[in-house]
Amino acid sequence: MARVKEIVAAFGGRRGRVLAWLCAASYWLAYAPPARPSGNARAAREARAAEKARAAAKAREAAKARAESRNAEGPALFLSCPRECFDDYLRQELSYFDVTNDPYRADLTIVVVRQPAGNGGERFTVSLAPRVPGGPSVAPSSFAVTADTPDGVARKHLLQTILRALRTYLAETPHEAAFELALPKRDGAVLSNLVDRWRYWVIAPEVSAAGDGGSGYYVVDMTGAITIRRITEPQKVRLRASYGRRWSGYLLEDGTRIRGDVDVNVFPYTDNAAKQLRFAYQLGPWANWYLERNRAGLFHEVRGYHALSLIADLNQAWGSLQWIGQVNHFLDDSNRFRLSTGAVISVRLFAGFALSVEGEAALVRDLINLRRRRVTDRELLLWTVEQPTNYRFEAQLVLTYTFGSKHDTIVNPRFARVDLDEE
């Protein structure tokens, strides 16, 4: 205001007052504080800022979800194979997952069971066993290969079967898109009604030979056999005849055996890969030819015999059990009998600890092929003749504890099978 008065005094009159007010207006425009916005404008600006913040947060969450999807780890796997199942190959092909060396460190155990098939080949059955119950249920899957199927083809079939089971188990997860689709498998009922001019009868002649020798002995075994079988889902028929001959430096014997089998499984056919409890009955002639007279003074004899067997077979995630108990005797002499049993048990008791037990035992009362003459010390030590005994047994116990890294996916073939007797 003082500056305005100075301007009015300098110019005087009306002209001074006009100039003074112009200067005041310019000063107010240059230095006056901005006007406060109205309530509606402020709310709109705050709404726009909040919308931008929500969009940024949503974008960050989407980026985090994509990163988690890319980095998501599948379940850790453990391969359980009572018999060899191309485990090196499977660990390489399943390297998408982490394959562990102990089922207690795995989220999912893959159980692979191999069984003889009706076509002379093998039947593979794959089942999944989660360590923590409550996950998706996946039915066991099976396929069969013929006797002349190369291992390379069989292991590819096995891999695809495992992949199908894993894809079903991991459905609706980020890993589902990583699997390839395959044709649906046919069940036992369909396979038992295929057009077949042989009506599922399979005839399989076979010839085998084996030899063993050293500087002081030799043994050569030759066997010829023919097997006739018919296996469908509701029934199983199997007939087999064989002839064997042995040459050695100390013994020459041959024998013939023909039998018929009847087999009944207690559990349903669909569970045969996971569990079996079977009764088997055998009936047939037993024929023997001897180089020397036996204790009965015979060079040749034919006797009727029969046998009853009880067989248990379990293949689970915790391990496997194969057990058989059998009693047999000759029909013409009730005092000639044999009671025998044998088992192979493999159990993983806890993380890293495995127990394997294998053994056989028999009460022997059916040795009709003992020589009349006394067995020499040389024959006794070399075990080149049948020796008298009332019982037989053998047993093996293996305890294994594994610790350290749980990872077992990498396969390195270096130094494998560097010795002839190494498996």
Domain ranges of the chain: 1-32, 77-178
Cα 236 from Cα 265, distance rounded (Å): 11
User: Which residue would you say has higher pLDDT here, 288 or 11?
Assistant: 288
- What does the pLDDT look like over 244-264, one tens digit per residue? 777 766 444 445 555 555 555
Per-residue model confidence (pLDDT) at position 326: 93
User: Which residue would you say has higher pLDDT here, 169 or 31?
Assistant: 169
DSSP string of 47-114, one letter each residue: HHHHHHHHHHHHHHHHHHHHHHHHH-----EEEE-SS---HHHHHHHTTTS-BBSSGGG-SEEEEEEE
- Residues 6 or more apart in contact with residue 204 via CB below 8 angstroms: 120, 147, 226, 227, 228, 229
The separation between CA 308 and the C-alpha centre of its own chain, rounded to angstroms, equals 31
Average pLDDT over residues 133-141: 81
Per-residue model confidence (pLDDT) at position 261: 57
Predicted confidence (pLDDT) at residue 33 exceeds the cutoff of 80: no
Predicted confidence (pLDDT) at residue 313 exceeds the cutoff of 80: yes
Per-residue model confidence (pLDDT) at position 343: 92
Per-residue model confidence (pLDDT) at position 275: 77
With contact defined as beta carbons under 8 Å apart, do 107 and 413 qualify? no
Q: Which of 123, 81, 339, 322 is nearest to 236 (CA)?
A: 123
Per-residue model confidence (pLDDT) at position 270: 59
Per-residue model confidence (pLDDT) at position 268: 63
Per the listing, tokens 């079967």 go with 161
Tell me the range of 139-143, 208-212, 239-243 where mean pLDDT is highest: 139-143
Predicted confidence (pLDDT) at residue 340 exceeds the cutoff of 90: yes
Predicted confidence (pLDDT) at residue 305 exceeds the cutoff of 90: no
> Which CATH topology does 77-178 take?
Rossmann fold (3.40.50)
Predicted confidence (pLDDT) at residue 300 exceeds the cutoff of 50: yes
Q: Tell me the average pLDDT of the chain.
A: 76
Predicted confidence (pLDDT) at residue 122 exceeds the cutoff of 90: no
Predicted confidence (pLDDT) at residue 120 exceeds the cutoff of 70: yes
Predicted confidence (pLDDT) at residue 84 exceeds the cutoff of 90: no
Tell me the range of 20-34, 357-371, 404-418 where mean pLDDT is highest: 357-371
What values do phi and psi take at 334, rounded to 5?
Answer: -70, -15
| pLDDT interval class at 19 (50, 70, 90) | low
Per-residue model confidence (pLDDT) at position 183: 58
Per-residue model confidence (pLDDT) at position 69: 43
Classify each residue of 235-256 as buried b or exposed e, where b means 16 or more C-beta atoms within 10 Å of its C-beta: ebbbebebeebbebeebebeeb
Tell me the range of 255-259, 381-385, 406-410 where mean pLDDT is highest: 381-385
Average pLDDT over residues 307-318: 85
Ranges 154-158, 221-225, 241-245, 259-263: which has the least confidence? 259-263
- Residues 6 or more apart in contact with residue 207 via CB below 8 angstroms: 222, 223, 224, 225
Cα 53 from Cα 230, distance rounded (Å): 74
Average pLDDT over residues 51-75: 62
The H or E element that residue 154 is part of is helix 151-169
Residues in the chain: 423
DSSP 414: T
Per-residue model confidence (pLDDT) at position 251: 41
